[in-house]
Structure 1
């Protein structure tokens, strides 16, 4: 994720907690540059489904659907460098800027490809008229969302934060332009679902090879399912078709269910982190772990046969243990000894 914080977090940090791992909270930020505000998705580890394209696209999709009245008719221009960010240009008739930050894309082409498939899907569905994705040149890594993350981190280091709701309050107090959205609660309830976009998009779209060398991708509703690819802004533009089958209008990918925290992780939080939380948050952040359920033993029906078997088993338990039967090795050794004794007797008789 873009950022990750731990709670409880105390500015007067107790010494023992320095070597421990408190509860984790990931932050995914989306900046609307037209209104200079940032929406931050707070992902507690209880509802975290892992890093990858599914989480990125799900949060971007949630934001764009929540702001559909602003994004549906306005062209989007995305800039990405180890992140996905959305921007706009003055050349477009309506000024609308969004910055979606900072999920790593650079490690593989799959994440880039799935993002391209998702943008092609939005244009094919008519959710956006024009979308442009630009990958920045290596070395340019800072975006406007880093400003809002910096404001949050500065406030976070100065406050005693002990729960997920206090993380949200700290985020919103850091600046009037910072807004926090909970992806889920601390007890595992999902509020913003994560979808299996990778499986869903592969049904209708194909991947583009060699996209690491390209820096600009353009999608238009005039040619849905196709993308115009350029290496640089002044390079030759080539068209590539992504679509294999037309996606259905109402079809959506399946929701992914978070696995939640393991029993070992819950026990660790209860034993090692609970004492550093505020008194009123201990049962929420580090609740006690119930004992593991043992398998119940069902009673067998008592019949005459079962009683007789139990009696014989009791008798056998009281008797001494029978010696084990001779195995093949012992028998072989016995036969050799017997043959040796017989040969000695025969030789002794001959001597006499």
Structure 2
């Protein structure tokens, strides 16, 4: 859960979120299996392939298996839990991002859904993975393929195929050694533009209860932007 004005859902944002989750929740498992939809901007792109290859190089995993849903299938088990959040959200009064966090935490009786509210980037950073992976070799036409595999037995190589029954093809995405002391650069977060502040103040404030308006949609502050 990220405050407004942060990174949009591009490559750097999504990979940074996944990287944060791996660092926080990986309990020493050496095989990672991922199921994704076919969203090019968020999931199905060369940079995510580079990222999982990079995890292998870092010895964080020995195997990574990445599977994309077949065409015309866009929903799977994770979406059902988002659906539970939506049901409670529609029944609740929401004034602040803390209210959203409360809805998420109470949307399942077994606490399967748990919010992680990153306030002022404490404990979380956006990284510029896109620039970091510029030397990697892109795989053409990756939209044609639905299964990717990475293994420590073949570092720098991505195995890929369309259907489960197919045999894997392979390609090398990098053949150079990493300097693991060099990490992706941290992306500094810019404050909301004055235009965005004005839009929120004009369009959102009427729906926020008075005691919370200065929290959720404060009056535009041009001086703060200029500073």
Say if 2:194 and 2:221, in contact at 8 Å, map to a contact too.
no
Query: Hey, what does 2:201 align to over in structure 1?
Result: 270
Q: Distance in 2 between matches of 1:279 and 1:115?
A: 43
Radius of gyration: which is bigger?
1
Residue 195 of structure 1 and its aligned partner are, at CA, apart by 0.7
* Cα gap change, 1:271 to 1:79, in 2 (>3 Å): closer
Note the C-alpha offset of 1:272: 4.3
Secondary structure at 2:114's aligned position in 1?
A: strand
Gaps of 5+ in 2: none
Match of 1:182 among 111, 114, 117: 117
Equivalent in 21, 43, 46 of residue 2 of structure 2: 43
Aligned mates of 2:86, 2:142 — CA distance in 1: 34
Which residue of the partner structure matches residue 342 of structure 1? none
Higher strand share: 1
Q: Distance in 2 between matches of 1:227 and 1:291?
A: 49
Distance in structure 1 (CA, Å) of the matches to 2:194 and 2:46: 36
Name the counterpart of 1:14: none
Match of 2:106 among 149, 173, 190: 173
Contact 2:44 2:143 in 1 (8 A): no
CA distance in 1: counterparts of 2:84 and 2:113, whole angstroms: 9
Secondary structure of 1:255 counterpart: coil
Q: Give the secondary structure class of the aligned counterpart of 2:55.
A: helix
Instruction: Work out the CA distance in 1 between the residues paired with 2:221 and 2:146.
Output: 53
Output one character per residue of 1:235-286: Cα deviation in whole Å (capped at 9) or x when no partner: 1222211113222223210111232321122233334433432233121112
Q: Secondary structure at the match of 1:152?
A: helix
Which of these residues, 10, 15, 35, is aligned with residue 79 of structure 1?
Answer: 35
For 1:197, which of 98, 121, 129 is the aligned residue?
Answer: 129
Tell whether 2:108 aligns with 1:150: no
Shift of residue 200 of structure 1? 0.2
* TM-score between both structures, scaled by the size of structure 1: 0.59
**Are residues 1:131 and 2:30 paired?**
no
Q: 1:180 aligns to what SS in structure 2?
A: coil
Q: Aligned pair 1:63/2:21, yes or no?
A: yes
For structure 1, which runs of at least 5 residues remain unmatched after alignment? 1-41, 83-103, 294-352
Residues paired across the two proteins, number: 221
Structure 1: 4+ residue segments shifted above 4 A: none
Structure 1 SS opposite 2:163: coil
